[in-house]
Chains A and B, each alone.
Chain A
Amino acid sequence: MQFALDEDRALLARSTRELLEKEAPLATNRQIMESEPSGYSKALFRQLGELGYPSLLLSEDEGGLGPIAFAAVLQEMGRVALPGPFLDLALAIKLLAGSSEDAAKKWLARASAGEALVVLARGESLASGDPSAASARFTNGRVQGLKRFVPFGAEADAWIVETSSGLALVERPTSGWNAKALPTIDHAQRFAELVLDTPGVLLCDAAAARGVLDDVDRLGALGASALLLGLSERALEITVAYTMERQAFGVPIASFQALQHRAADMLLQTESTRAAVYRAAFAAEHQPEQAAYLIAVAKAWAGPAARLVCGEAVQMHGGVGFTWEYDPHVYLKRVKTLEQFYGSTRAQLDRVLHARGW
């Protein structure tokens, strides 16, 4: 038994941290969140594409490194609250890699190189982050319908749209579509509401789509859990650092037991998330029979745990924790999105019981 990453993956994690600390520290990311109309740095995403990051989730045969490496990279992106559609792009690439359609191959090549953004367009409800049966239609080569909470939907060059007839690839047309922003509290992820009446190519029928989407949903939950791990880890670090600096009654507030016990709980939650995320990632790579269950466990744990940790980060910063200027709120807001999408906590809890036969 060994928990530590092997040499290749440890090196990848280290070089990713160095890259992000240089190119995308939180201060830079916050400027982009507030001033960049697309909500992310396209230059950085091109760089990530050149380095092969977007196709990391693919198996080693397909030119990727697999789920463990993927989790290690997303953990790093969580630490800096990286804005942008990295996870969404990786999931679309995974889906495209499984299709033999020409259109899929073309977009796979462009998306993998970081030249194009492809995202999934699935949900239709305002009341749930978990897509239910699609009412968008695919008829006579056209996709028609309404899609909501499409991640970076207004920025994407192509969408993979879930319709009642299956998954359809839609290239961003010049007309026949309409996007409205659905801005949530999260600064790092933009969402759009899409109204489509556009040409598309069916990638697979509804029956085949179910299997494909189950796979993508699992990997999405794993990726979101790894982001949540990175967010928790960094929120704890900045909070402890703040309590060491901040003085009250002539001593650092870190010396107060009330705060020490809160911080200890944050560590317990974060370290438990780490164990759960990598156990799930290991299963996704090596133990397929356990992967669905362990990924559901990881996501159902990581969301509430990160919310607790990042909520405590706000609390332990005191008044400045409630200001726009300080960072804890960026983490807390990011957590809320990741908790509700990529398989909400409630959906994961259902999966857990289902897997146990209860």
Chain B
Amino acid sequence: MDLRFTPEQEKFRAEVRAWLGANLERPWSQEVRDPKHDASSLVEVRRAWQKKLLAAGFLGMGWPREWGGRGATAIEEAIFTEELYRADAPQVPNFLGISLLCPALIHHGTEEQRRRFIPKILDCSEIWCQGFSEPGSGSDLASLRARAEPDGEHFRIYGQKVWTTFGPWADWIFVLARTDMEDRYGGITFFLMPIAQKGVEMRGIRQITGESEFGEVFFDGGLARREHIVGKIGEGWKVAMTLLGYERGGSTLAYPAEYDRYLGGLADGLRENGTLARADVREKLARLVVENEVMRGNGMRNLANIASGNAPGAESSIEKIFWSEYAKRLTDTALDLLGPQAQLRDTQPQARPDVNWAYEFLWSRAGTIYSGSSEIQRNIIAKRVLRMPTK
């Protein structure tokens, strides 16, 4: 047992931290409260940030060198992401392209596809979104009904996708659609499609935060070219499962780092309000500190297991339940303890100066729903770890 980082890993962390100190102009929570910004100009801030990360060699660090990687270990990737969250850096706009599509292309794509798409994903000249969920197919993704009809050697797509994260700013979409309406898994194919074309319409969906960070896409005969199918026809489910396996890696230490920053902001607020000495307040704050530190311990254990060559299993379900449900408890408690100031919109000068509590409170409601709801994660644990039977 050794839960320490090696001197080399600590050196890497110091380098990342120094780079962030020199290159991050201001934390994201300060950026978003600048009145000069609107939703689109904030995307441009994120695009500029992604270009900086690319230039510094920090994108796709774990990929093969050929595709811009540096052969970074899982631990280095986790350290890097942890430092990004600790510093409150902007999220790159092309996170879906980088974390989901690129691994799928590296594993299942053709050489031509890799050359055509990966460079533009990395330099953010083409932003990607994901077309998986449908109004009738969420947790039960394989029940999806979007269909691909042959048109010469190409396909025309019909149907609707929804909860399309970052869709309103995306240039391209990777889509799961049926090339066979009967075969539940083998009838699904993985298509890459430009959004700006006849027969594809993207509409923003207004969320409980007021913003339209996700959207819905209507397909009415949009063209999907044969050379833009990833994997073979009918292999879409397999490709999708590969990339979803990538979805929860690397960020295992990131959430505890972010929540630790929030806890610092909460303690500062309580001290300013003169309530930090109250026994009831202290107990609530301390429980949140304990839970976050336990989450970090889970993350270190997962990371150590990945570093020892074990494939992540049910740990990712535990991790997902833990961070997403914790975010609700943390923000619930913060709004309770900090009072109405914490409900002020972050653009108000009277708002808390550090954490955007009101936004985080609302945004935390999404975490237990997206990317496999808490209920789905519990099903996974019961079936795959505890081996409890299906009826």
Contact = CB atoms under 8 A, between A and B. Distances in A.
Interface string A305-346: 000000000000000000000000000000000000000001
Given A1-B5, A3-B1, A349 B308 contact: no
Given A1-B75, A3-B304, A275-B298, A268 B322 contact: yes
A261 B378 contact: yes
Contacts of A275: 294, 297-298, 300-301
Contacts, number: 147
Most buried by A among B282, B285, B286, B390: B286
Nearest to A259: B388
Interface residues of A, number: 49
B170 interface: no
Nearest to B390: A255
Interface residues of B, number: 47
Interface string B371-382: 000010111011
Contact of A353 (B285, B315, B377): B285
A271 B1 contact: no
Interface string B283-297: 101110111011101
Nearest to A252: B389
Contact of A3 (B283, B289, B301): B301
Given A1-B304, A268-B322, A275-B298, A261 B285 contact: no
Residue from the set B271, B293, B304, B385 with the largest chain A CB neighbour count within 10 Å: B293
Contacts of A22: none
B278 interface: no
A301 B301 contact: no
B290 A260 contact: no
A257 B285 contact: no
Interface of A: 1-6, 9, 68, 240, 243-244, 251-252, 254-257, 259-261, 263-265, 267-268, 271-272, 274-276, 278-279, 282-283, 286-287, 293-294, 297, 300-301, 346, 348-350, 352-353, 356, 358
Given A255-B391, A349-B282, A353-B289, 10 more contacts: A3-B305, A244-B388, A271-B318, A272-B297, A276-B297, A278-B3, A297-B297, A346-B283, A350-B282, A356-B267
Interface of B: 1-5, 75, 267, 271, 276, 282-283, 285-287, 289-291, 293-295, 297-298, 300-301, 303-305, 307-308, 314-315, 318, 321-322, 375, 377-379, 381-383, 385-386, 388-391
20 contacts: A1-B300, A1-B303, A2-B308, A3-B304, A3-B305, A3-B308, A68-B1, A244-B388, A257-B382, A264-B382, A268-B381, A278-B1, A278-B3, A282-B3, A297-B290, A300-B286, A346-B283, A348-B290, A349-B287, A352-B286
